[in-house]
Amino acid sequence: MWLIRVNMTDLTSSVGPLPDAYQHLGGRGMTSTIVAKEVPPLCHPLGPNNKLVFAPGIVTGTPAPTSARVSAGAKSPLTGGIKESNGGSSWAADLADMQVRALVVEGQAKKNGKFWGLHLLWDAAASQPKVEFFDASEHAGKDLFEVFPKVYAKFGDKISISGCGVSGEYGYGNAGIVYNDPAKGPTRYSGRGGLGSVMGSKGLKLIVLSREGTPGVPITDEALFDQGRKKMIDALRTHDITKPKGALNTYGTAVLINIMNEAGGLPTRNFSSGRFEGAAKTAGEAIFEGNKQRLGKELYNHACSPGCIIQCSNTWHNPDGTEAASCVEYESDWALGANCGIDSLDDIATMVKLCNGYGLDTIETGATIGVIMEAGVIPFGDSQGAINLIHEMGKGTPLGRILGGGTGFAGKAYGMTRVPAVKGQGMPAYEPRAVKGIGITYATSTMGADHTAGYTIAPEILGVSGKQDPLTPEGKAALSRGFQAATAFIDTSGHCLFIAFAVLDIASGMEGMVEECNGVLGTQWTTADIGRVGAEVLKAERAFNEAAGLGKETDRIPEFMRTEPLPPHNQVFDVSDEALDSVYAEL
Amino acid sequence: MRLRVKLFAFLTRYRVGDAHRENLSSGTPFEVDLPEGATLADLLRALQVPDEEVKMTFVNGLAQPEDWQLKDGDEVGIFPPIAGG
Ligand code: SF4
């Protein structure tokens, strides 16, 4: 197994064996360990001392289901803390199949308008991966929907692509890292935290992986791996949420719109209400029914990446049956919909596609526009105005750059007090005042406001892994802590986080995940190690953040959520500072 | 008593016995009359929604168990198992 270092300052690379200390790491565990160890916490995120690390998960590239996931990590230009942002793509599996467990991009190319690309391929003669540089300047300043076909034309079909859009070239806090989807489009993202700008700051535009001749991931104990894989497949195929034609496969993640609205926790018009009158029009059910009407047949969702058996990724179609956007996820749907008072799926899809083309994170974009609407720049509900603002971001105009700085930055520029962000990162699609546990995750996560970091929505709203009252703060610090640690393990394993819905309810599925990892690594973990391994990752991240100046004082929810009751339940965020601090103090 | 009821996702297929409801999309409210003292379980029976297909039931925006006693004017939302993120 290999660790590749690429130095953008002098355009050199080295391929070396994976150090012993990193043997049992993958995904987030790998990126966060390397960033915490090698990146000076006080460095400028867009300077030469930051490092951008890519790592496939432990089981990524194997036949383990729903595991073509990659972690991208660095110091975040959005939060100023450590960042891991997870994406699903063939790019993840291709990196793993090249036996690359970590790709570390260091230094900074000299700025003379030039952008570089990396081409990683398997060197059969040397039995190891190799790195070639190519001039990618022709792709600078271009829409990613123009760039991707050109890259496929140049390198052939047997490749995967990652890169940054113009947003990453501009250095926005809101710039994701894009990966190809199964239809070769630029729509899969490590969206959060501005990692696209870390890539762009290094003068790196694209990373192309050729899968030809790659040896695949070695498995230490095949029998054990297979046993685990079967348990995982059984769990995913039988659970109502993850099974074929189950909730995720039929309605996609946007099936959450209605239940969050019903529970009074769907943030609406910049977090001023928990209910949106247009919710049902934008929900996953409306996407399913709308597609059925426009296509004349039922359309079930597809996999974002090879080997996924949940298959939750939808495509929204135009009235003439052509593709409008892939994929309209719950978060994007909400951010550009309810949060902006917009109830047209067609307009939301237009905005999703623009974000994908410019390399913007849909959550950060919608959260930012929500604040800017409240500031009166455009009214709530003005979708054409919102579309124009996204173009401003894409063109890099002065207004676009203010918005591209992210929710917190744009809020400051307009003198706003109601800014839904933690550590500068815009909040996702769950209201902390209506769902206290997720608010604790937003406040305390090493990532800034991030729902995936500790998805307490499962028991608080969905009845998965037990049922808990969303309005009470009681016991929620421990709940969030447990979810944050388990999540760090799943993000390390290489499985998509959505397996959790099945394996939290089906114990053999959870065992299966651990057995798959043991099968690959030769470790002897049990399910009791999930929390321990996850906690180690969190501790490394936390230590980095503290050294970067993000101590517990930054683990707080914006003041307005503590003072302003949220309809319909008229709740404030009433979790004590002591409870928030206990999340990491008692880790 | 009169309730406002919403069925979501897969459960919209249980709009049986009422021609007015048959074309309602997910989450569109309709009215149901039940005797005083009826519970959520009684409502599910009246709608002929099988218990095992129901995961979460909300009354006025708060999740409630099946033995929850309803009152006139309550808004009820009924969901199958769903998730996302
Ligand atoms: S469950 Fe959805 S997001 Fe996760 S890997 Fe499968 S298609 Fe991608």
Return the best residue to mutate from A180, A305, A451, A493 for the ligand 1 pocket (most ligand atoms within 8 A of CB): A305
Q: Which of B8, B10, B83 sits opposite A258 (nearest CB)?
A: B8
Q: List, by residue range, all CATH 1.10.599.10 domains of chain A.
A: 436-497+525-585
Please work out, in degrees rounded to the nearest 5, the angle formed at the alpha carbon of residue A163 by the alpha carbons of A159 and A167: 155
Is the model's pLDDT at B24 over the cut of 80? no
CATH 3.60.9.10 region(s) of chain A? 2-210
pLDDT at B85 over 90: no
pLDDT tier at A476, thresholds 50, 70, 90: very high
pLDDT value, residue B18: 62
Domain A243-419: CATH architecture, name and number where available? Orthogonal Bundle (1.10)
At B67, the pLDDT band (50, 70, 90 cuts) reads very high
Residue B22 has a pLDDT of 62
Domains observed in chain B: 2-79 (3.10.20.30)
- Residue whose entry in the numeric block shows the structure tokens 């690429």: A6
To test ligand 1's pocket by mutation, which of A59, A89, A313 has the most ligand atoms within 8 angstroms of CB?
A313
Residues of B in contact with A457 (CB under 8 A): 85
What pLDDT digit, counting tens, does each position of A561-574 carry? 999 999 999 999 99
Q: What is the DSSP letter of A236?
A: H
CA-nearest residue for atom 4, ligand 1, is A496
Mean pLDDT across A219-236:
98
Question: Do β-strands B75-79 and B2-7 pair in parallel, antiparallel, or remain unpaired?
Answer: parallel
pLDDT given for residue A112 in this prediction: 78
Residue A312 CA: nearest ligand 1 atom is: 2
> Terminus-to-terminus CA distance in chain B, angstroms?
37
- What is the rounded CA–CA span in Å between residue A304 and residue A308? 8
Start-end of CATH 1.10.569.10 domains in chain A: 243-419
Question: pLDDT tens, A88-119?
Answer: 999 999 999 999 999 999 999 987 789 999 99
Q: Stretch A65-85: mean pLDDT, rounded?
A: 98
In this model, does residue A526 exceed pLDDT 90? yes
Q: Which of B25, B63, B82 sits opposite A255 (nearest CB)?
A: B82
Does the pLDDT of residue A350 top 80, yes or no?
yes
CA distance B42 to A296: 37
* Residue-wise pLDDT tens digits, A368-412: 999 999 999 999 999 999 999 999 999 999 999 999 999 999 999
Task: List the one residue out of A305, A219, A299, A189 whose CA is nearest residue A252.
Answer: A299
Structure tokens at A361: 């994170």
Whether cis (ω within 30° of 0) applies to the bond prior to A182 is no
- Look at B41 and B13; give whichever has higher pLDDT: B41
Summarised one tens digit per residue, pLDDT across range A291-321 is: 999 999 999 999 999 999 999 999 999 999 9
The Cα A266–Cα A432 span in angstroms is 10
> Considering the entire predicted model, what is its pTM?
0.98
pLDDT value, residue A103 = 99
**Orientation of helix A436-444 relative to helix A577-585, angle to 10°:** 60
- Of A276, A277, A286, nearest in space to A251 by CA: A286
Average confidence score pLDDT of chain A: 98
Give φ, ψ of A16 to 5 degrees: -135, 165
**What is the Cα–Cα distance from B9 to A300, expressed in whole angstroms?**
14
| Residues in chain B, total | 85
Predicted local confidence at residue B17, as pLDDT: 56
- Can you give the C-alpha Rg of chain A in angstroms? 22
Q: Which residues of B touch A464 (CB under 8 A)?
A: 81, 83
- Write the residue with the smallest CA distance to atom 8 of ligand 1: A304
Structural tokens at position A162: 């990652």
CB A357 within 8 A of CB A317: no
DSSP labels for A118-179?
EEEEEETTTTEEEEEEEE-GGGTT--HHHHHHHHHHHH-SSEEEEEE-HHHHHT-SS-PEEE
% of chain A at pLDDT higher than 70: 100
Q: How far is B82 from chain A (nearest CA, A)?
A: 5
CATH of domain A436-497+525-585: 1.10.599.10
Chain B residues with CB-CB distance to A497 below 8 A: 85
Question: Do the beta carbons of residue B83 and residue A453 sit within 8 Å?
Answer: no
Q: How far is CA A200 from the centre of its chain?
A: 18
Predicted interface score ipTM higher than 0.90:
yes
Topology of the domain covering A2-210: Aldehyde Ferredoxin Oxidoreductase;  A, domain 1 (3.60.9)
Pocket of ligand 1 (CB under 6 A): A 66, 88, 303-305, 308, 310-313, 496, 498
Strands A316-317 and A323-325: antiparallel
Q: What angle, rounded to 10 degrees, do the helices at A345-358 and A362-374 form?
A: 120
High-pLDDT (> 90) share of chain A, %:
99
Output the pLDDT for position A502.
Answer: 96
Pocket test for ligand 1, best of A59, A311, A451 (most atoms within 8 A of CB): A311
Which has the closest alpha carbon to B75: B9, B29, B16, B43?
A: B29
pLDDT tens digits, residue range A403-450?
999 999 999 999 999 999 999 999 999 999 999 999 999 999 999 999
Residue A559 burial (CB count, 10 A):
12
pLDDT band of B20, cuts 50, 70, 90: low
- Give A462's contacts in chain B (Cβ within 8 Å): 55-56, 81-83
- pLDDT tens, position by position, A499-511: 999 999 999 999 9
What DSSP string describes chain B? -EEEEEE-GGGGGG-TT-GGGTTPPTT--EEEE--TT-BHHHHHHHHT--GGG--EEEETTEE--TTPBP-TT-EEEEE-S----
Confidence of residue A171 (pLDDT cuts 50, 70, 90): very high
**Contact assessment for residue A248 and residue A505, using Cβ atoms and an 8 Å cutoff:** no
